[in-house]
Structure 1
Amino acid sequence: MKRRILFAIIAAVLIVAVPTTAFSQSKKSTSRTDVNLSLVGVVSTLDPFKTSLTVDLMLFKQIYESLYYIDDYAKPHGRIASSHTTSPDGLVYTFNLRKDAFFHNGDPVKASDVVFSFKTAIASPVLAPYVNVIKEVKKIDDSTVQITLKQPYTPFLNNSSQVFIVSEKAYTAAGNKFGATITGAGTGPFKVVKYDGNTRIELEAFPKYYLGEAAIKKVIFIPMSDQSTGLIAFENGELDFFGVPSSNWKEITESGKYEYTLAPSSHISYILLNPSSGVLKNQDLRYAINYAVDRELINIVAYEGYADEAYHMMHPEYITGASDNTFKFSYNPAKVKEYLKKAGYPNGVDIGVLQHTTATYYPKIAQVFQAQLADFGIKCSLQGGETSALVGGWRAGQFNMLCSGFNAVLDYDYYTRYTSPDVPSSFLKFQNTDYDAKWILQQYNKGAAELDKAKREKIYFELEEYIARTACYIPVFYKTNPYAWNKNLNVKLDLNYYYIYDWSWK
């Protein structure tokens, strides 16, 4: 069956590797101080309180900072905060701020800016899930902020790192134009000097950055949702660093012209079935669909086999509280037929529209998924679009099926952003379904408040078992990032993002 599906997909999808050009990047030593990069889509805003899109965050990581930076091992490192203390009951966090941190407009960072940033985050539908446990945030003095929680919350320090500190003065002065114009509200190692989210963003090193001015003095980001265009630009030397299409990975790595790595990530690519929509309300039908998904084949066609097949939404290797031992679906044609019969559709059924982002490999995932279902008489149509244009409808539950992905913060509590009934931006809230939304919310709250590691893992195990058996989310694969770059460029990569401050030219 796999062979038949694969031949059909190859014929229908036209998977063609992008031809490489004759140009190569210089191998000579360089005294360059600029770097040219691409982004996988348009930047929707410069306002860090209004978006959680990966493409936006990749830019934000260069220009904004939080109280703490959390590394790949979930360990905190001081940024705007130099240190903190926690009360014995785990309810009060007192942050001591750096006295040498400045905003890009030249103003010193003060406790009032931190208070403003957290209050703005609390009011933000995007960031509220990270900080809705906060009872009070207040200024003690210009260099001290105290945050009191409603209950003990184990992932608080981790989640608070999602709140970027902005200048209250710059943010309020800009009003409704904040996010669409340059304001100097950030504190990061680079400041925005030119901004057009559709075509070009230019950054310059911030001279007053408290860790020292960056070795890279100028950064240019070019939004390029078309990977073929990006690859040609990279090979022509117009880009210095690039996320290589998996279909061209072998060619790039064997050319001898570039440095490269397959960087791991906690990123999950997935398909979501809406249990409140039409025939997909039928759990037996969703089980049939899950059993029809051949992850190995999707990985081969969409990612040249370089990804890791996923059976859980939260990566057990990286996510605190995630387990590899909970219920999972795997490809099983006999089960597909069994559950189609149970659902009342022994000859198949039309399940409607699958929406997918047009960025990178997602169209191929959608096409392979469509072909796999068709082999069992299950029909679906595809509708592609920019993530920024689709995500509003997804958050409102206005979809039948969707195909997308996200980088998970390194704690199971992050899954609330996609499955909690209490999170407005969640794609799946379990309301108006046959499932116990109240119990799901209680489990999330219990897990976040539990300080004992073993007990916390047990709570999340039970929660994962329950959500997985609803057969709504279909984890497809954990992405590896196939990066290549100019041989003269020193590059350091983190699990999900990169920080250009750590880069330099040889």
Structure 2
Amino acid sequence: MQSRRLLSLLAPALAAGLLTSTSALAQAAFSCPQTGGDLIVGMEAGVPTLDQHTATSSATRNVAMNIFETLVIRDAAMTPTPDLAESIETSEDGLTYTFKLRDGISFHNGKPLTTADVVASFDRYKEVGVNRATLDVVEKWEATDDITFVITLKQAQPTFLESLSSYTVPIVILPAEEAAKPANQITPIGTGPFKFVEFVPDSHVRLERYDGYVANDTFGDLSGFAGHKQACVDTVTFRMLTEAGARMAALETGEVHIVENVPAISQERLAGTAGVEVVRLENFALNVAYPNWSAPPTDNALVRQAMLAALDMEEIMEAATDGAFKLNPSFQFPDTGYYSTAGEEFYNQADPEKARALLAEAGYTNEPIVLLTNQQFPNMYNSALVMAAQLQAAGMNAELRVLDWPTALATSEKETAGWNVFFTFWATVTAQGGPTSLRNLANPNNVYKPVNNEGDAAFNEAFARIQSGADLETRRAAFAEAQAIAFEQVMAIPFGIMQNAQGIRANVENYQPYYNTRVSNVWLEQ
């Protein structure tokens, strides 16, 4: 049976002369101009866990994706590309995927990577992984030898590699002995350029260079989370500086080298501060909230529709971002392959009278609508604050419940009582596009907490067609249909697109803002 390699996905780059040959890539591979020093990153949120299989938090990814690696990952163009794999072959019938591991890779504890570790990691993810539905289409996986891992599907799914390479909650590869441990009880041992040293909750995480790291030269430099990665600094300390003023002060004094999320109010001052630079990512994240379908009164679709009718998205986004935003009636960023405005009639209605009529039809009797938020992420807190005022103006008894970020996130994931709307943002989810950008609303993820976790049937049927459609146009049409259902049924509320500004000290070289913090290929001028 004939097969085709994943490298064929890179054919446009090859044709353009961007990639010419393996030897040319090796010659052009990144090399640190300088090494040494402790790079200090000021984080905007606490890190709830470093067990990447179990965590949706961007704060976890900001640290963990410098420790762990996957079989297949996304490059800067969001194309699936090998990571720990040397090659990936797909059978002609689309049912079998054969991964060959790269040579010479060892975990941070010195143990050589084999497919036994890959099997154990996939077994664990199937049990505890947040996005384990990715593997529902899989009939089996097996190691046929120490470097060959084979996945067999129940039926062909054209978007399988797209789903497998998602790094929202990636299937990172752990040593088999760690993969045998329950959720949140692992020691963070990976194969990445940095290895774990210390985690002090609510304080910091410290990593150090892994001298045994073997880089992937699919690209000569870092591309997304793919390509050639190298630890140029001796250590990286991720400090949890959740108060924005303290984070900015630490950057200005040189106490930290990089800070996440510079508020708009601070950007002008920092831009005029000697030794500091502000860097930006224009389409960073979708500012979003989702209701709890299991808790009254948001178990009533008419109440949810009344909430959506009342919202003035421009006012919410202005408060959330101090003006650094774009309105966007979609769950995708503009100018991407699946972008659609289906359902836009439900977006930015700002119609309190329509909301009142829907409430009357629903039989709403002033039950509390609890908005679950936190103050570590000002955009979430301010979005909730303004949304509460808008709901109150439309006759709803809206109130805030403010917890710290890790507790708020855990409450939204594990509890179906005590909250009605949860506030967050989707960065990697939206950026990766296609099925990934709606997976949180599909079975079994269902972040909107339907009763008995039985999600909207029409949405799930459309979502299945996004994954299984034989051609791109079919998948795009299914995406538009699913998005329209998500708007109408109020499965989630996208407020708009947030930009992101980060601050760096002048002696930080080659740092590039991304959807998560990448510290590979970054060095400090001595």
Task: Give the TM-score normalised by structure 2.
Answer: 0.82
**Aligned pairs for 1:462-477 within 5 A:** 462-477=481-496
Question: CA shift at 1:450, angstroms?
Answer: 1.4
Q: How does 1:197-346 map to 2 (within 5 A)?
A: 197-211=201-215, 213-243=230-260, 244-265=262-283, 267-318=285-336, 320-333=337-350, 335-344=351-360
Aligned residue in 1 for 2:27: none
Q: CA deviation at 1:255?
A: 3.0
Instruction: Say whether residues 1:166 and 2:174 are aligned partners.
Output: yes
Residues 41-63 of structure 1 show CA distances to partners (whole Å, capped at 9, x for unaligned) of 22222222221211111111100
- The AA in structure 2 aligned to 1:240 is H
5+ long unaligned stretches in structure 2: 1-32, 216-228
Choose from 141, 144, 147 the match for 2:145. 141
The answer for the alignment partner of 1:124 in structure 2 is 128
Matched, 1:90 2:103: no
How far apart, in 2, do the equivalents of 1:274 and 1:46 lie? 27
Cα distance between partner residues in 1 of 2:233 and 2:91 = 41
1:432 Cα shift? 7.1
Paired residues of 1:63 and 1:191 also in contact (CA < 8 A): yes
Q: Cα RMSD over matched residues? A: 2.7
Q: Residues 159-203 of structure 1, C-alpha deviation per residue, up to 9 Å, x if partnerless? A: 32321011113444xx45x845645x2000000112223212111
| Superimposed CA distance per residue, residues 457-482 of structure 1 (whole angstroms, 9 cap, x where no aligned partner) | 11111111112111342211222211
Shift in CA distance, 451/491, structure 1 to aligned 2, threshold 3 Å: farther
- The residue number in structure 1 matching 2:457 is 438
Which secondary structure state, in structure 2, belongs to the residue aligned with residue 63 of structure 1?
A: coil
Of 236-245 and 155-164, deviating more is 155-164
CA offsets per residue over residues 404-444 of structure 1, 9 Å max, x none?
A: 22221613322454212x21x432254479x9823322222
SS of match in other structure, 1:216: coil
Distance in 2, Cα, partners of 1:476 & 1:134: 35
Select the residue among 453, 464, 470 that pairs with 1:451.
Answer: 470
Pairs aligned (count): 469
* Contact 2:342/2:483, CA 8 A, preserved across alignment: no
1:135 to partner: Cα distance:
1.5
Match of 2:119 in 1: 115
Q: Cα distance 1:194–1:289, how it changes in 2: closer, same or farther (>3 A)?
A: same
Amino acid at match of 1:372: Q
8 A contact 2:121–2:179 mirrored in 1: no
What is residue 393 of structure 1 aligned with on the other side? Answer: 411
Does the residue aligned with 1:498 lie in a helix, a strand or coil?
Answer: coil
Alpha-carbon shift at residue 129 of structure 1 (Å): 2.2
Alpha carbons of structure 1 residues 496 and 368: separation in structure 2 relative to 1, 3 Å? same
Distance across 1 between alignment mates of 2:206 and 2:253: 20
- Report the CA distance between 1:455 and its aligned residue: 0.7
Q: Distance between the aligned counterparts of 2:339 and 2:137, measured in 1?
A: 22
Relative to structure 1, the CA distance from residue 417 to residue 358 in structure 2 (aligned partners, 3 Å threshold; closer, same or farther) is: farther
Secondary structure of the equivalent of 2:402? strand
Cα distance in 2 between the residues matched to 1:104 and 1:30:
23
Pairing 1:189–2:209 present: no
SS at match of 1:458: helix
Deviations 1:105-128 (A, max 9, x none): 111111111111111111124131
| Residue in structure 2 matching 1:80, options 77, 84, 89 | 84
CA distance in 2, matches of 1:82, 1:417: 28
Q: Is the 8 A contact 2:310 2:354 kept in 1?
A: no
Indicate the residue corresponding to 2:20 in structure 1.
Answer: none
Is residue 2:107 matched to residue 1:100? no
SS in 2 for 1:469: helix
Corresponding residue for residue 26 of structure 2: none
Residue type at the aligned position of 2:158: T
Map of 2:447 onto structure 1 = 427
Whole-Å separation in 1 of the counterparts to 2:478 and 2:405: 33
1:252 touches 1:258 (CA, 8 Å); kept in 2?
yes
Q: State the distance in 1 between where 2:310 and 2:116 align.
A: 54
Q: In structure 2, how many angstroms separate the alpha carbons of the residues matched to 1:368 and 1:180?
A: 39
Counterpart residue identity of residue 357, structure 2:
K
Superposed CA deviations along residues 199-258 of structure 1, whole A, max 9, x for unmatched, are 121111111111275212210011222222212211121110012122212221233532
The partner residue of 1:406 within 385, 410, 426 is 426
Residues 484 and 491 (structure 1), Cα distance of their counterparts in 2 relative to 1, 3 Å cut: farther
- Gap regions ≥5 residues in structure 1: 1-28
Q: SS state of the match for residue 278, structure 1?
A: coil
Kept in 2, the 8 Å contact 1:114–1:165? The answer is yes
Whichever residue aligns with residue 332 of structure 2, its letter is M
Asked whether the 8 Å contact 1:200–1:222 carries over to 2, the reply is: yes
**TM-score, normalised with respect to structure 1:** 0.85
CA gap 1:390/1:99 in 2 versus in 1, 3 angstroms: same
Distance of aligned partners of 1:486 and 1:55 in 2 relative to their CA distance in 1, 3 Å threshold: same
Going from structure 1 to structure 2, the CA distance change for 1:502 and 1:348 (only over 3 Å counts) comes to farther
Cα displacement (A) at 1:84: 0.8
Hey, what's the Cα distance between the residues in 2 that align with 1:276 and 1:215? Answer: 49
- Measured in 2, the distance between the counterparts of 1:453 and 1:354 equals 38
Contact 1:316 / 1:324 at 8 angstroms: preserved in 2?
A: no
Deviation of the 1:98 alpha carbon: 0.4
Q: Is the CA contact 1:246–1:304 (under 8 Å) kept in the aligned structure 2?
A: yes
Amino acid at match of 2:175: S
Residues 328 and 405 of structure 1: CA distance in aligned 2, closer, same or farther (over 3 Å): farther
Contact preservation (8 Å) 1:206, 1:213: no
Structure 1 CA distance, aligned partners of 2:236 and 2:492?
37
- Once the two structures are superposed, what CA deviation does each residue of 1:288-347 show, in whole Å capped at 9, x if it has no partner? 3223222222222221111222322333444x43413443434445x3203412431899
CA contact (8 A) 2:54 2:128 kept: yes
**Partner-residue secondary structure (3-state), 2:242:** coil
Indicate conservation of the 8 Å contact 1:348/1:379, yes or no: no
Contact 2:120 2:179 (8 Å CA) reproduced: no
